[in-house]
Structure 1
């Protein structure tokens, strides 16, 4: 992704500073309390600390697009937060010790990644601290005071309470993730939250379920249950890593296909990449998320593939100067090529409908159409190119471009100071 899709307001927004400050205060209180009073049940604390540290060591990345790069570490932290007994003996660790052990193990496990230049971001660290702290607050005080046993007992309702706590913790983490991303990028909060909640059905549900199962297993069988119940999550992590590698290869293949028009001299270098990045940013601004963003990005990358059918390249690849019938022919041929590559059918549909009036197009096609027109108009216009291109787009909103998409484009460009 390029600068349009990663644009951030200058300085840390107030929401980000508040989240970081809250996590820092909780961390300071937890470490101070633990250093002063010492660890309760040291063996249990060290076992869970080692599990979390190993999980952090085994994390697969930690990039901006990865919601949970260390599922084993997250599951271990949740299990410790929800631990009430060890082999039938009640535990007495509280919220602050859970937070302190999680933070210490997180830092230990992150040392090799920091040395390799893959340090986890502050937002990820703050979310981990606050989410685990939230789970511990929901469980530990009630358990240690005996009120949890009075309210739900220690049978099926006890397990149900763990599920409720996990669901609330997942919601807390999704709210924090969406708020931080929205504050940093200016993207709409609602679609980001829906995207985070959808993601919980994948690796998030596996993390939560493993955390609850480990807490229940340790309560009955003791610490020997930890390595046994870690195995399913390790296999899940391996599967997700392979899936991520397949997706990366798939995207690289599409990017290579999109460059065919550049290599053949039909479009300027970098045009498809710029249109894709700008389309994705506009889609984010208009509230698209998840699969819709993937379709939008792939369609933007391959929107010019139909130009390979032309005997003579159009100057600068600007097909807008061609007759409407020729534009539709190129768009249909491009869609046919996309279908032959095995890419998603929705991507082919967006490519095919590029030459239609915008009122007949889906939103994704409207976005690609406007982003493509902007990149074509802004080239070769000197310092005033972006402003001139945007004004021309605004003047053509009656038939060629949707006004809301053009104004979204203006907002995206203004965030990166594109001379507007």
Structure 2
């Protein structure tokens, strides 16, 4: 088992210390309002059990997150003040999250420790911001819309805290730039994150007025939202599989070596990450990299090993334009076709995605044919050609990615 990165370890240790203190204090003082604690604990457990384990998910358990946040910001239950405080809020949410995570741990699905650490720290943050002040009567004059806006503001602040934690954990594990990761996390808050914040606030307000009966009522809309996101993700997965299958057409027909498109796509995405592309831009880049050789299907005689980097500029442009025309017929985002069409243009006239695809494609072709020292030789050739053929910033980013992630050419197939 590899050692955890220092930043990841620090976040896990902070979460573990907070959890240990809260559990110890709650065990010593006992549970306040046990029915309320049990109801919210069940809600969080159900949310964790229904956690989404698909790739590229911003909030894996939206119902669990909404329930946890609403308990941290709960001040009344059916008109009666609550007294559970910060430590009990963290302890109840942690216990429920652990129970709900058991099936996921047993199946080895997803980074459970990261998920639990984020949950503990964000609940602790929200509870510290709200519970001490509420119990001192600081919000006694806040009623109606003002109180609702207060809860929404605290939830938005907590969501920002969670976004920073998620970006920090991703940066620590992948060593991708922190800024673009944080930007993606903040952008994702506009989707399921906004639904979690709204549901958490509504639950806390509704329980304060009508009691615990509000929990199942206001859980249903978020469950339906989660289901719609799952279906959307399934459609996107099928869409990507279709593009991947289309990209393999050149391999099956013998125009390009097996695995070339996948290697170029994976390395292009890593370079795009390093250069700070947004998530939608990375998707366009990946799809274009997968289909960058599709124009070779128009050739009567295949290029040896599919190596277009050695062809004349005019022939490269012709293949690129034909490839773009094919891509446009597939119904893919037109931006993908633009990248495919312009990959053979002079790099100063290319969009950044096309510059990346061109450099990475050339690197893969040169490294594959240069023997044992292929990667270093290919990289040096690209650097020597930055005066006219390849964008210098892309080549240097490629070098950083190769050095940082120790990427090598995977086996064909």
- The structure 1 residue matched to 2:349, chosen from 354, 360, 383, is 360
Matched residue, 1:7: none
Offset at residue 158 of structure 1 (A):
1.1
* Aligned equivalents of 2:166, 2:405: Cα separation in 1: 23
Q: Secondary structure at the residue paired with 1:383?
A: coil
User: 8 Å contact 2:309–2:365 — kept in the other structure?
Assistant: no
What whole-Å deviation, never above 9, does each CA across 1:131-172 have from its counterpart, x for those lacking one? 11111111111111111215xx22321111101101100110
Matched, 1:387 2:391: no
Map 1:314-333 → 2, pairs under 5 A: 314-333=303-322
* Aligned equivalents of 1:59, 1:416: Cα separation in 2: 30
* Aligned equivalents of 1:211, 1:353: Cα separation in 2: 47
Offset at residue 255 of structure 1 (A):
0.4
User: 8 Å contact 1:284–1:293 — kept in the other structure?
Assistant: yes
- The structure 2 residue matched to 1:306, chosen from 295, 309, 314, is 295
Matched residue, 1:58: 50
Matched, 1:28 2:17: no
Matched, 1:199 2:191: no
- The structure 1 residue matched to 2:7, chosen from 15, 26, 29, is 15
Q: Unaligned stretches of 5+ in structure 1?
A: 1-9
Distance 1:390 1:240, change over 3 A: same
Matched residue, 2:174: 185
* Aligned equivalents of 1:419, 1:337: Cα separation in 2: 31
* Aligned equivalents of 1:121, 1:384: Cα separation in 2: 40
What whole-Å deviation, never above 9, does each CA across 1:29-59 have from its counterpart, x for those lacking one? 1111111111100000000000000011111
* Aligned equivalents of 1:391, 1:12: Cα separation in 2: 33
Offset at residue 417 of structure 1 (A):
2.8
User: 8 Å contact 1:186–1:285 — kept in the other structure?
Assistant: no
RMSD between aligned residues: 1.4
What whole-Å deviation, never above 9, does each CA across 1:233-291 have from its counterpart, x for those lacking one? 01101100100100000000000000000000000000000000000000000111211
Map 1:285-300 → 2, pairs under 5 A: 285-300=274-289
Offset at residue 214 of structure 1 (A):
0.5
Matched, 1:413 2:402: yes
Paired positions, count: 408
Offset at residue 419 of structure 1 (A):
7.4
Map 1:44-123 → 2, pairs under 5 A: 44-61=36-53, 63=55, 65-123=56-114
* Aligned equivalents of 2:403, 2:312: Cα separation in 1: 33
Offset at residue 199 of structure 1 (A):
0.1
Deviant stretches of 4+, over 3 Å: none
* Aligned equivalents of 2:219, 2:406: Cα separation in 1: 48
Matched, 1:344 2:337: no
Higher relative contact order structure (alpha carbons within 8 Å, sequence separation ≥ 6):
1
Map 1:138-177 → 2, pairs under 5 A: 138-150=129-141, 153-177=142-166
User: 8 Å contact 1:75–1:211 — kept in the other structure?
Assistant: yes
Offset at residue 416 of structure 1 (A):
3.0
- The structure 2 residue matched to 1:37, chosen from 29, 34, 50, is 29
User: 8 Å contact 1:55–1:74 — kept in the other structure?
Assistant: yes
Q: TM-score, normalised by structure 2?
A: 0.96
* Aligned equivalents of 1:219, 1:403: Cα separation in 2: 60
User: 8 Å contact 2:105–2:112 — kept in the other structure?
Assistant: no
Matched residue, 2:226: 237
Offset at residue 11 of structure 1 (A):
3.8
User: 8 Å contact 1:110–1:120 — kept in the other structure?
Assistant: no
Q: Secondary structure at the residue paired with 2:343?
A: coil
Offset at residue 319 of structure 1 (A):
1.0
